Amino acid sequence: MEFGLSDEQRLLQESVRRFAQEEIAPVAAEYDASGEFPREIIAKAWELGLVSTQVSPEYGGVGLSSLDGCIVTEELAWGCAGICTSIMANDLGLLPIAIAGTEAQKQAWLTLLTERFSLIAFCLSEPQAGSDVAGLQLKVSKEGEDYVLDGTKCWITNGGEADFYTVFATLDPSQRHAGICAFVLHADTPGISHGKKEDKMGQRASETRVVIFDGVRVPAAQRLGAEGEGFKVAMQTLDRARPPIAAVGTGIARRALEESVAYAQERKAFGSPIGSFQAVQFMLADMAKDVEAARLLTHQSAWMVDQGLRASKHSSFAKCFATDVAMRASTDAVQVFGGNGYTKEYPVEKLMRDAKLMQIYEGTNQIQRLVIARELLR
């Protein structure tokens, strides 16, 4: 058993760490305040091969393993979780094509993502179907050789900014799982429009919008997998997308730890640095051990994905644990900083706001526990 990174992985980590330190961290507070979409930063990340990392070289991509993708993601999230989410949403969006696409579909759509800078977004959640994917209502009807989509998706990361969408729709809502189909389409297909940008508590540099489908015609060649297979495609996508979410949690928690250690050495109370007090030391020690444990679970779940093993339970372990750690560590970081931590003059209140979303998106942590319990009792 080998816990260390290879030389290549270390180089990759160092180069993304530099990118996060130089290009992301210095502007993170600005993007947080303005809520502006960080298109220029994402474009720079694309130049470095940090966007659409899961596209394999035969389609022009860098073809990072899931483990390598998690190494990249932890570093980006250290810089800013919102900007990181905008970058990694592309891998989530393209996974249904990588998982269920035919060779011709992969050639057509994955190559588009690597030929020029472009974004793809994953459209699964709906106003009345977030946790309950099988309850989705976006209707797909057959018209000759085409399909027509009608309905609304919500909480779509990069909605309104993406060039392409992968979309899940149902032929018949009463059939639940068995009725769902997956599609890939151009975002400028007639009939697609977008709602207002959500004004979020945290991760404000990531764009989240409603996407409306009104009589959107899609050729059958753009269906991913067979009719009725869409639910499983969505679940397999989430199995592979949750380790990187765990890596975001690890990145936020590591930043909280590093900021807290530095502050504890510098800030004085009762004539000594606050790091000399056991009350603060215990908070730092808990953060440090939790960051390590979160990273181990993250890397293990990614390793399972890379081995082609079904990773549902381990992806849920990692997503749930690492994002709970992010919430705890960032909350404790605010405590270490005291009154200063509660102001926008210091970076830790942003970490706390950003961490909260991690316990909610890509399956709430209650859903992760449900997945784990079902696997245990199956």
Residues labelled as active-site residues: 362
The least distance separating ligand CAA from the CB of residue 316, rounded to whole angstroms, comes to 9
In this structure, how many other beta carbons lie within 10 angstroms of the beta carbon of residue 6? 11
Sorted by sequence, the CB contacts under 8 Å of residue 86 that are 6+ apart come out as 37, 38, 42, 157, 158, 161, 205, 206, 207
In this structure, how many other beta carbons lie within 10 angstroms of the beta carbon of residue 111? 14
**Residue 107 or 131 having the CB closest to ligand CAA:** 131
**Residue 134 or 148 having the CB closest to ligand CAA:** 134
Token pair in block for residue 309: 């093993």
Task: Read off the DSSP letter of residue 225.
Answer: S
The least distance separating ligand CAA from the CB of residue 239, rounded to whole angstroms, comes to 5
**Residue 27 or 92 having the CB closest to ligand CAA:** 92
Q: Is 4 exposed, middle or buried (0-12, 13-18, 19+ CB in 10 A)?
A: exposed
How many Cα atoms sit within 13 Å of 137 on the Cβ side?
10
Which residues are near ligand CAA by CB under 6 A? Answer: 85, 89, 92, 122, 124-125, 131-134, 155, 157, 177, 231-232, 235-236, 238-239, 312, 361-363, 367, 371
**Residue 197 or 267 having the CB closest to ligand CAA:** 197
The least distance separating ligand CAA from the CB of residue 366, rounded to whole angstroms, comes to 10
| DSSP secondary structure, 83-121, as one string | HHHHHHHHHHHHHHHHHH--HHHIIIIIHHHHHS---EE
Positive/negative CA dihedral, 117, 251, 330, 349: negative
In terms of DSSP bridges, do strands 208-219 and 164-170 run parallel, antiparallel, or are they unpaired?
unpaired
The least distance separating ligand CAA from the CB of residue 322, rounded to whole angstroms, comes to 15
Please give the biggest Cα pair distance in the chain. 80
Residue nearest to ligand CAA (CB): 363
The least distance separating ligand CAA from the CB of residue 261, rounded to whole angstroms, comes to 30
**Residue 155 or 346 having the CB closest to ligand CAA:** 155
